[in-house]
Amino acid sequence: MSHHFVIRVVGKLLIPFILLFGLYVQFHGDFGPGGGFQAGVIFASAFVLYALIYGVDKAREILPDDVLRVGIALGVLIFGGTGVVSMLWGAPYLDYSPLASTPSAGQHIGIFIVELGVGITVASVMVTLFNLFARRGGDDELDAE
Amino acid sequence: MIEPGLYNYWIVVFLMMAGLYVVVARGNLIKKLVGLNVFQASVFLLYITMGKVEGGTAPILAEGVTVYSNPLPHVLILTAIVVGVATTALGLALVVRIQEAYGSIEEDELEEKDERDERKLRS
Amino acid sequence: MTATIFMIVRLHNLFAVVMLGGIYSLLAASMFVVLDAVDVAFTEAAVGAGISLVLMLAALSLTKTEEKVASRHGILPLLVVLVTGAALIYGTLDMPHYGDPNAPIQQHVAPTYVADAQAKTTVPNVVTAVLASYRGYDTLGEVVVIFTAGVGVMLLLGDRRRRRRRAEGRE
């Protein structure tokens, strides 16, 4: 699809904003609608858009498979690790209260970290899924869209 | 029978049955997956309508608002949607592999082919 | 929404069916906004109308885009669906009414969540608070499910070894 001039230009304009919006949704999820799940999907959709316009191989140069594979595991690890950290401080698993000076601040930090973990996993899984499906058919299949 | 308060459930039931019909009656595997998605969305709708409170607002705390809709179904469905797409992708992956192995994604053709292979093995 | 569903059932062109599936998701998302579930609507719009549509299209391009016209139009599926639907409708007659603040679902833990979330977690978005803190175990489970699904698809479709061998064979 890379030969369509309009799509290339509009895509180039849109992708940074989609990424920015994803970050906003991720880190503003405590106050407005949003959170790790949504942010992960939005973030992934930016990369999918890039892959649709410029081809999967180019997208994989930016975000190699190894990085994605690490990301998938890292998110789960962050989530589970937070629970272990609170256990080390003597609290029950996944009780974030001891992570800061006051319990409520600890909860806030805990939610923040956990959402980050969720976001990383969801984004990496979604991009990986797309890459796998797209690569299966070779490069010509993307013209179907 | 005339109970306007139950209208929402009937919509859900209708959508659910439409999804179920697609899953049961159609032989094409991708169409079955779309049907499953429709079914899934109807369940989401069921949960969300149950959580709605008359006169309530979205469960993001703000000053001057006292009635909120129930946040619990929202949480459950929020995660269910993302899990749903991940499992759908898994189903699609299976369909792709079936297409590669059998050259078809129609149920009857798959069965035919299986039977033929079995007969060949026996003889 | 009903019209979309009807078309999904009727059409045989899978491309159109998948597209209608996306429209259906978007309609569901707008419905969630009306029902006060902004977080859910957000997710549904991003997932249903975005990622899942792209995945479906990618899978379609690997298979066929035309459904074989069904040879068996059996009455049995319709019958099963109608009976199940009737049973479900009968079941709804005892359900609490739409928007009823006294329904059992509103009486259980939800009021505590709404009342305590701000003080305990300093997070105004109750959905986020419940998601990550009160029901952290659930969410951890969900993330692991996504992880597992991702690994599953990798196993099914990621053919690194075979691909490399093919590339070597070509050279």
Per-residue pLDDT tens over the stretch A4-13: 778 888 888 8
Q: What pLDDT is recorded for position A142?
A: 45
| 3-class DSSP state of A105 | helix
Q: Is C7 part of any domain?
A: yes
**Looking at this protein, which amino acid is placed at residue A100?**
A
Is residue C152 domain-resident? Answer: no
- How far apart are the C-alpha atoms of A116 and B105, rounded to whole Å? 39
- Contacts with B71 (C-beta within 8 Å, 6 or more apart), sequence order: B51, B59, C110, C113, C114, C126, C127, C130
What's the confidence (pLDDT) of residue A145? 39
Structurally, how many domains does chain C consist of? 1
- Residue C164, domain member (yes or no): no
Interatomic CA distance for residues A88 and A97, integer angstroms: 12
Q: Is C45 part of any domain?
A: yes
Which chain A positions have a beta carbon within 8 Å of B60's beta carbon?
A: 31-33
Among the residue ranges A76-80, B12-16, B28-32, C62-66, the one predicted with the least confidence is C62-66
Q: What angle do CA C94, C99, C103 make, to 5 degrees?
A: 50
Q: What are C129-142's pLDDT values in tens digits?
A: 777 777 778 888 88
Cβ-nearest to A122 among B82, B93, B96? B82
In this complex, do A40 and B82 lie within 8 Å of one another by their Cβ atoms? yes
Phi-psi region of C11 (alpha: psi -120 to 50; beta: other; left: phi over 0): beta
User: What's the pTM?
Assistant: 0.80
The most confident of the ranges A41-45, B2-6, C113-117, C163-167 is A41-45
Architecture of domain B4-122 in CATH? Orthogonal Bundle (1.10)
Q: Which SS3 state, helix, strand or coil, does residue C13 take? A: strand
* Residue C38 lies in domain: 1-66
Q: Identify the CA nearest to B75 among candidates A22, C136, A87.
A: C136
C28 occurs within a structural domain: yes
Listed by start position, the domains of chain B span 4-122
| pLDDT score of A3 | 66
Task: Look at B79 and A41 and tell me if their CB atoms are within 8 Å.
Answer: no
**Dihedral angle at the C-alpha atoms of A93, A26, A29, B41, nearest 10 degrees?**
-90
Interface of C with A (CB under 8 A): 38-39, 42-43, 46-47, 50-51, 54-55, 57-62, 119-125, 127-129, 131-133, 136-137, 139-140, 143-144, 146-147, 149-151, 153-154, 157-158
Instruction: Give the Cα separation of C120 and C133 in Å (integer).
Output: 10
Is pLDDT at A140 greater than 50 in this prediction?
no
CA distance B73 to B66: 19
Q: Residue C11: inside a domain, yes or no? A: yes
More confident residue, C24 or C124: C24
Q: Per the domain annotation, does C86 fall within a domain?
A: no
Euclidean distance between CA atoms C84 and A29, whole angstroms: 40
Residue C81 counted as domain residue: no
| Helix C14-34 and helix C38-46, axial crossing angle in degrees, nearest 10 | 160
Alpha helices (H) along chain B: 7-25, 29-51, 71-102, 107-122
**Chain A 70-129, CB below 8 Å of chain C: which residues?**
72-73, 75-76, 79-80, 83, 94, 96, 103-105, 107-108, 110-111, 114-115, 117-118, 121-122, 124-126, 128-129
